């Protein structure tokens, strides 16, 4: 594993517990000599995780659509910047280039990115580890919704149990990636059932 994608909020109007967790995760990623690939936001948890990586001398690659750069929403501290024409290109680039995907707390954009990664994995478009960092119980309602999908047969139990892992602290993220369950052709076949 060389690159880790981290999806998270670009808002500064959030409690400190999330900001400090994002920074800590960035430090851990940098200390592990992994490259961060993310949405290149210059504020919020995006900036915190990038600052954490950079504090260790690590590499941060931001991927951002041109219209966001034009509005000054990019992070000037990013080591590398990939400018895309659309949001779709941004998401596809990050997902393609990352070796693992991690979701810190965030808004609808973070949820959308996380759910798209889960969908692509269910369909066999990738087999990369996905980790949800449930800081302060932030993702409890989403996880309950996924459980309800299983109960109502809109989602297979295998998809809830093996497509992703849930942790509560930044310190648990890299070990969770290392022990991610195998996701191969046999598991992908369940997408049709």
Angle at 164 between CA 160 and CA 168, to 5 degrees: 105
Sign, CA dihedral 20-25-26-32, equals positive
pLDDT in tens, 95-136: 999 999 999 999 999 999 999 999 999 988 999 999 999 999
Spatial distance between the Cα atoms of 107 and 26, rounded to a whole number of angstroms: 19
pLDDT in tens, 127-154: 999 999 999 999 999 999 999 999 999 9
Helix (H, G, I), strand (E, B) or coil at 4: strand
DSSP output for 111-127: HHHHHHHHHHHHTTS--
- For the chain, domains (ranges, CATH) are 3-179 (3.40.50.450)
- Using a 10 angstrom Cβ sphere, with 0-12 exposed, 13-18 middle and 19 or more buried, the burial of residue 148 is exposed
Query: What's the pTM value of the predicted model, to 2 decimals?
Result: 0.94
């Amino acid at each position: 594993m060389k690159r880790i994608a981290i999806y998270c909020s670009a808002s500064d109007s959030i409690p400190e517990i999330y900001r400090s967790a994002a920074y800590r995760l960035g430090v851990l990623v940098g200390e592990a000599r992994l490259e961060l690939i993310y949405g290149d936001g210059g504020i919020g948890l995006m900036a915190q995780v990038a600052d954490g990586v950079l504090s260790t001398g690590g590499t941060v690659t931001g991927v951002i659509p041109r219209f966001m750069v034009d509005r000054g929403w990019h992070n000037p501290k990013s080591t590398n910047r990939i400018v895309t024409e659309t949001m779709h290109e941004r998401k596809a680039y990050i997902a393609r280039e990352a070796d693992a995907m991690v979701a810190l707390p965030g808004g609808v954009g973070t949820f959308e990115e996380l759910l798209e990664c889960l969908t692509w994995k269910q369909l066999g478009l990738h087999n990369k580890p996905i980790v949800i960092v449930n800081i302060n119980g932030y993702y409890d309602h989403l996880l309950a919704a996924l459980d309800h999908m299983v109960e109502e047969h809109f989602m297979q139990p295998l998809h809830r149990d093996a497509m992703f892992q849930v942790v509560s602290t930044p310190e648990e993220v890299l070990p969770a990636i290392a022990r991610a369950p195998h996701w191969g052709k046999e598991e992908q076949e369940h997408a049709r059932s």
